[in-house]
Amino acid sequence: MFIDQFYRKSNNGITISGQQASDFAKIVSNDFNPIHDAGSKRFCVPGDLLFALVINHYGLREKMDFHFSGLLAADTPLILPPDSIPNYQILDERGKSYLEGFHSGDSVQNTTSVETLVKAYVRFSGHNFPHILVPLMAENNVMINPQRPLIIYQSMSLELDCLEFENPSLKITKTSLNVAGKRGDGELHFTFHDDNKIIGRGVKKLILSGLRPYQQEAVDSMVAEYLDRQSIHSEV
């Protein structure tokens, strides 16, 4: 599977280097959040890379839930429990949890279909900022801190109605942001499609921190900086 180039096998599990995580974010997810830059002081491995690794290890099931319980630093050895366990935790060697998961139902057997759905999801997820979150913040008259933007990937769940598909894609169906002081709890609901047929649905939950009143000029500057980073990478 394509994901194999973005991690290394260790004694009882895997490790992810900063460069592998950064390459995944930019090449696969098209995500240019500076927190995923290999040299960033605030670096963490993208949640979407953990999602893809779990699918690679356990397979793609009819129902799957993922709850991210910690920010993963580069080169942290992770232990993957046996795939026979429906409820599991991805831990490091000290027992710290980074992801709690659950799966049930049958598996998608076609590995090409699995890979295309994973790629479709992480591309969708990587485009949350600015395409989805900026309009959502504007609608609620709040914005993240432009000097220290922080959006935390809290959880994701999916449910598939059909296990045979060829060209999966995602469409956003509903968004919401519940603001409480400087914190916002966001939900992005989406459906999986195979051409014109709906084959499943899911929801991604995010935490937006350091919220403050919306300022269009500051948001425009954030978006411009993000798109500049994206443009520079595409020219390399």
pTM of the model: 0.94
Instruction: For residues 90 and 76, give the distance between their C-alpha atoms in angstroms, rounded to a whole number.
Output: 12
CA 152 to chain centre: 10
CA distance 204 to 66: 9
Q: What is the pLDDT of residue 82?
A: 82
pLDDT at 216: 97
CA–CA gap between residue 26 and residue 40 (Å, rounded): 14
So what's the pLDDT on residue 149?
87
Structure tokens at 18: 């900063």
d(CA 194, CA 166): 7
Burial 86-113 (b: 16+ CB within 10 A, else e): eebbbbbeeeeebbbbebeeeebeeeeb
- Kindly list the structural domains of the chain, giving each domain's residue range(s) and its CATH number in brackets, ordered by start: 2-235 (2.40.160)
* Residuewise pLDDT in 10s, the chain (236 residues): 799 999 999 777 899 999 999 999 999 999 998 899 998 999 999 999 999 999 999 999 999 999 999 999 999 999 998 877 899 999 999 999 999 999 999 999 999 999 999 999 999 999 999 999 999 999 999 999 998 888 999 999 999 999 999 999 999 999 999 999 999 999 999 999 999 899 999 999 999 999 999 999 999 999 999 999 888 877 65
Structure tokens at 205: 């939950």
89-124 confidence digits (pLDDT tens)? 999 999 999 999 999 999 999 999 999 999 999 999
